[in-house]
Structure 1
Amino acid sequence: MSWVANVMISVDAADGANVEALSEWLRTDAPRRAQPEVRGVGFLKLLSSPETNHWGGWKHPECEVWAGALNHADLDALKQRVSEMPWREPNLVQLLVMDQEEGFFRMWMIRSGELRQFAPLEPHEEDEGFYLG
């Protein structure tokens, strides 16, 4: 049985190599949520490449967006890894995660050197401010 988490990350073009390294970590070393001794949960693919642009519209995207469907990923370990990466433009990093059985993506951004959530915890929250850091 699988447990899928949909993951997207948007970064500045200068940080493409960091996302490639993150993707390789996901493929080979990332721990699984219920079996941390088992490594590897999937990988990320660049969706916004001019060569393989999967986006609609007549123009090429002006951002780098990577995505993947991860299996049994320890999402806390993923967030920790993203927060520790040597990003060249950390304030432009946006991590979006929709775990299995969730109906919307949660978004994290790096501010003051910390990865902070900038989306509601539940889809029906009444709070007008979405920063949850």
Structure 2
Amino acid sequence: MSHVANVMISVEPDDRPAAEELSQWLQTSALRRGFGPGAVGWVGSLSETTGSDTRWGGGKHPECDVYAGALNHADLAGLVAHVERIVWAHPEFVQLFVMDQEQVYFRVWMFHGTRLRQFAPEGREEEEVWPHG
């Protein structure tokens, strides 16, 4: 059985190598949810979505570097902790978007000093947000 999480990260161009390193970590050494304490291995990868072959709408190329992927069995707390430990050239511009399985919106993480902080509130799924017809 799978457990899918959608993940995106937006970085400055100087931080592209760090984003690619994060993708490599997801492919080889990421903490895995549901496989016992300390289990690591492949949970997926991130692909650049804003390169020269982008399919973004509009008549211009995006002015951001975004990597995205659908991860399987990723320990998301471990992912956030790993992103926090990466040496970013411009951490103030790093934005991590995480939407776990069964969630309906992304949680947004940004650096505040040396720590990542979540800026989207927990528990919104319990709120009555769906339109009634």
Normalization by structure 1: what TM-score? 0.89
Q: Residues of 2 paired with 1:69 and 1:47: CA distance?
A: 13
Q: How many residues align?
A: 124
**Structure 1 residue identity aligned to 2:42:** G
Superposition deviation, residue 40 in structure 1: 1.2
Gaps of 5+ in 2: 129-133
Q: In structure 2, what is the Cα distance between the partners aligned to 1:74 and 1:63?
A: 26
Give the structure 1 partner of residue 111 of structure 2.
110
What letter is aligned with 1:49? G
The structural deviation recorded for 1:121 is 1.0
Q: Deviation string for 1:38-89 (max 9, x for gaps)?
A: 4110000000012x21211110000000000000000011000100000000
Q: Distance in 1 between matches of 2:39 and 2:122?
A: 29
Displacement of 1:122: 2.5
Q: Is 2:39 the partner of 1:70?
A: no
Q: Give runs of aligned pairs for residues 7-86 of structure 1, distance below 5 A.
A: 7-35=7-35, 36-50=38-52, 52-86=53-87
Secondary structure of the equivalent of 1:24? helix
Q: Tell me, which stretches of 5 or more residues in structure 1 are unaligned?
A: 126-133
Secondary structure of the corresponding residue to residue 42 of structure 1: coil
How far did 1:120 drift?
Answer: 1.4
| Equivalent position of 2:122 in the other structure | 121
SS at match of 1:82: helix
Counterpart residue type for residue 41 of structure 1: V
Does the C-alpha gap of structure 1 residues 34 and 93 become closer, same or farther in structure 2, counting only changes over 3 Å? same
Give the C-alpha shift of residue 6 in structure 1.
Answer: 0.2
Separation of aligned partners in 2, 1:63 and 1:122: 29
